[in-house]
C-alpha cells in the first residue's frame, strides 16, 4: 500500500525525526516548514518519494499551499502537525506571547481544520498533532505556551467528537511529550527528565500506527500529569515552577 503523509513542521526537532522514520518505512511524503533548506536535506534521502513546500502556518496562504502539496503527492492519508514555538516568558514580553499565540493557536487551527475538511470530503483520514503535557495546567513561566497547548488538545477533542457525530472515518492522535532535547528548550534553564528526539519520534510513529487517541510520552510524564490534575488550584497557584 502506498501510504501518503503530510508533515508540517518537518525542518527540525521532533518533526524532522518523525519524517526520517516515515521515509525509512516507505511512506510518500509532502514535507513543509518555513525554512526550505533543511527540507531539501530530507528530500535527498528519498527524492522520488518526498515533495517539499515552504509553508508558514501564520500566513493567510498556508491552507492553499497545503492543498498544493497534497496534490503534489497525489493525496493524503495522514496529516502530522509538528509546527510550534514556545519558550519561558516570565517577563511577559508581548512579542513572545503574541508570536506563540499566532503560531500555536491561529496557525494550528488553520492547518488542522484544512486537513479535517480535506478528509471529510474524502471520507477518511488520520490527523496527528504534537500538543504537550504543558497543556495540562497553566504554567506561570510560559503562559502563552501552556494556554495554546491546552487549546490544541481541546480542539482535537472537539473535532474528534464532531467527526464521530457526522459519521466521518477520521482518526485523531493527540501526542503529548514532556521535555524533549530540541531547539525549543535551548537556554540557561535546566529542564528535568529530558528525552531524546529520536526515541520520542519512534513512540509517535508507533502511536500513529496503533491509532492511539492520546499518547503521553513517556511513563514518567504520565505519572506527573496524573498527579498534576489532582492538585487544587489554591495549592497550584502557590507552587514555584
- Domain, as residue range, for 103: 4-236
Percent of the chain with pLDDT over 70: 95
Residue 205 has pLDDT above 50, yes or no: yes
Segment 193-215 mean pLDDT: 91
Q: For residue 180, give the DSSP letter.
A: B
Asked if the structure places residue 241 within a domain, the reply is no
CATH (domain of 52): 3.40.50.720
When mean pLDDT is compared across 16-25, 150-159, 229-238, the lowest value belongs to 229-238
* HEC string for 184-217: HHCCCCCCCCCECHHHHHHHHHHHHHCCCCEEEE
Is 121 domain-assigned? yes
The more confidently predicted of residues 184 and 32 is: 32
Over range 9-32, report the average pLDDT.
96
Mean pLDDT value across residues 100-105: 97
Q: How many domains does the chain have?
A: 1
Q: Percentage of the chain with pLDDT > 90?
A: 76
Is pLDDT above 50 for 188? no
Separation between Cα atoms, residue 37 and residue 40, nearest integer Å? 5
Looking at the domain assignment, is residue 223 inside a domain? yes
Distance, in Å, from the CA atom of 121 to the CA atom of 204, rounded to the nearest integer, reads 26
Distance, CA of 106 to CA of 96 (rounded, Å) = 15
**105-149: pLDDT as tens digits:** 999 999 999 999 999 999 999 999 999 998 999 989 889 999 999
83, with CB counted inside 10 A (0-12, 13-18, 19+), is: buried
The answer to whether residue 6 scores a pLDDT higher than 60 is yes
Task: Name the pTM for this structure.
Answer: 0.93
Count of beta carbons in the 10 Å neighbourhood of residue 227: 8
Residues β-bridged to residue 129: 81, 174
Please tell me the distance from the alpha carbon of residue 208 to that of residue 129, in angstroms, as a whole number: 10
Alpha carbon distance 96, 51 (integer Å): 32
In a domain, 224, yes or no: yes
- Between CA 41 and CA 127 the distance in angstroms is 25
Work out the mean pLDDT of the chain and round it to a whole number: 92
**Torsions phi, psi of 186, nearest 5?**
-65, 140
pLDDT value of residue 184:
54
Count CB atoms within 10 A of the CB of residue 215.
Answer: 19
Amino acid at each position: 500500500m502506498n501510504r501518503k503523509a503530510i508533515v508540517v513542521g518537518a525542518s527540525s526537532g521532533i518533526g524532522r525525526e518523525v519524517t526520517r522514520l516515515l521515509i525509512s518505512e516507505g511512506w510518500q511524503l509532502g514535507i513543509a516548514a518555513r525554512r526550505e533548506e533543511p527540507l531539501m536535506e530530507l528530500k535527498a534521502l528519498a527524492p522520488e518519494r518526498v515533495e517539499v513546500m515552504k509553508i508558514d502556518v501564520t500566513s493567510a496562504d498556508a491552507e492553499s499551499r497545503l492543498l498544493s502539496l497534497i496534490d503534489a503527492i497525489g493525496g493524503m492519508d495522514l496529516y502530522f502537525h509538528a509546527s510550534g514555538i514556545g519558550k519561558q516568558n516570565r517577563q511577559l514580553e508581548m512579542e513572545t506571547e503574541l508570536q506563540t499565540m499566532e503560531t500555536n493557536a491561529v496557525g494550528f487551527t488553520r492547518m488542522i481544520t484544512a486537513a479535517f475538511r480535506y478528509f471529510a470530503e474524502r471520507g477518511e483520514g488520520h490527523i496527528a498533532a504534537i500538543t504537550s503535557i504543558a497543556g495540562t495546567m497553566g504554567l506561570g513561566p510560559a503562559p502563552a505556551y501552556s494556554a495554546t497547548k491546552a487549546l490544541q488538545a481541546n480542539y482535537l477533542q472537539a473535532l474528534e467528537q464532531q467527526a464521530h457525530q457526522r459519521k466521518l472515518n477520521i482518526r485523531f492522535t493527540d501526542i503529548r511529550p514532556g521535555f524533549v532535547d530540541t531547539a525549543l528548550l535551548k537556554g540557561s534553564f535546566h529542564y528535568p527528565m529530558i528525552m531524546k528526539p529520536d526515541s520520542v519520534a519512534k513512540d509517535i510513529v508507533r502511536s500513529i500506527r496503533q491509532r492511539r487517541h492520546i499518547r503521553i510520552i513517556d511513563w514518567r510524564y504520565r505519572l506527573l500529569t496524573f498527579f498534576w490534575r489532582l492538585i487544587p488550584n489554591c495549592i497550584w497557584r502557590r507552587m514555584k515552577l
